[in-house]
Amino acid sequence: MDARIDDVVAARLAAEPDERARSRRQLLAWRLASIALFCAAWEFAGRIPINLAFPTFLETVEAFGEMLADGTMLRAYFITLQPLVIGVVLSGIIGVSAGVAMGLRKSVEWVGAPVFIVLQAAPVAALIPMVTFIYGIGMTAKVISVCLLALPVIVLNSYKAVANVNPSLLAMCRCFLGNRLQQIVKIILPDASPVIFAGLRLGISAGFIGIILAELLITPTGIGDLITYHRAVANYAHMYASIASIIVFSALTLTLLQWVEVTLFRPEKQR
């Protein structure tokens, strides 16, 4: 490389962090603007009003503050989160292991794949009443509901991710004398991790659906209880505050997961 090109490259290298920070700030600004626009539209729609049962944004925020202050919100989350966290963690561990095993071994694939393909295609929500029938209305039933919804997508994504690992990277690893364990740890898992994590994100949002369905269909508890109760007494602002809170909570959880993925497994995506 001649000196002139070196200079250009050096200048570009020096300029890059600045540029990256600027584009990140811009992205953040756009996101905030879009959220603000959404809130304004909500407020506007609530004021028309499009429906008597539809509160304005500010009323909803107020109701949220109220429920936060008197502790009902925290108590509800405490109840909802227990089966959700247990179910999601179980699904994550079992799902990723099962999916990866299916991708690595043909025998496991033949046994496992059909079960999860059927489960994913089935309208699992219809199974929840059956779960209640077998496991009653306690914690077990709720955890199972979460797993029923979360597990198939996690398993199938992990399986596909591992089965479709870049073959030329596998050849490269063999060529440079990697053994099977090194191949799995250093090539297959990192290469599969974006799709595995996509499955985890889908699985977690399915887990949220599962827990809310369980709380609405099995016994009204936690957030499900808040929603049903406030609907019953026509406290629409409170009902919407509960619904919005679980949506925001779910979105924040998924963002956190993405952050974990990028920091731990795919540092190049931070660039």
State the residues that interact with other proteins by CB under 8 A: 1, 9-10, 13, 166, 168-169, 171-178, 182, 186-187, 190-191, 265-268, 271
d(CA 159, CA 153): 10
Closer to other proteins by Cβ: residue 121 or 175: 175
Residue 1 Cβ vs other proteins, minimum distance, rounded to whole Å: 5
Say how far residue 136 (Cα) sits from the centre of its chain. Answer: 27
Closer to other proteins by Cβ: residue 191 or 225: 191
Closer to other proteins by Cβ: residue 217 or 262: 262
Closer to other proteins by Cβ: residue 17 or 123: 17
Closer to other proteins by Cβ: residue 252 or 264: 264
d(CA 133, CA 127): 10
In what helix (H) or strand (E) does residue 145 lie, and over which residues does it extend? helix 139-163
Q: For the chain, what is the total number of helices (H) and then of strands (E)?
A: 11, 0
Angle at CA 153, nearest 5°, toward 148 and 156?
120
For residue 38, the one-letter residue type is F
Residue 260 Cβ vs other proteins, minimum distance, rounded to whole Å: 15
Residue 4 Cβ vs other proteins, minimum distance, rounded to whole Å: 14
Residue 8 Cβ vs other proteins, minimum distance, rounded to whole Å: 12
Residue 105 Cβ vs other proteins, minimum distance, rounded to whole Å: 21
Residue 110 Cβ vs other proteins, minimum distance, rounded to whole Å: 22
d(CA 136, CA 156): 29
d(CA 202, CA 187): 24
Tokens of 196: 């595995």
Backbone angles phi, psi at 193, to 5 degrees: -60, -35
Closer to other proteins by Cβ: residue 19 or 70: 19
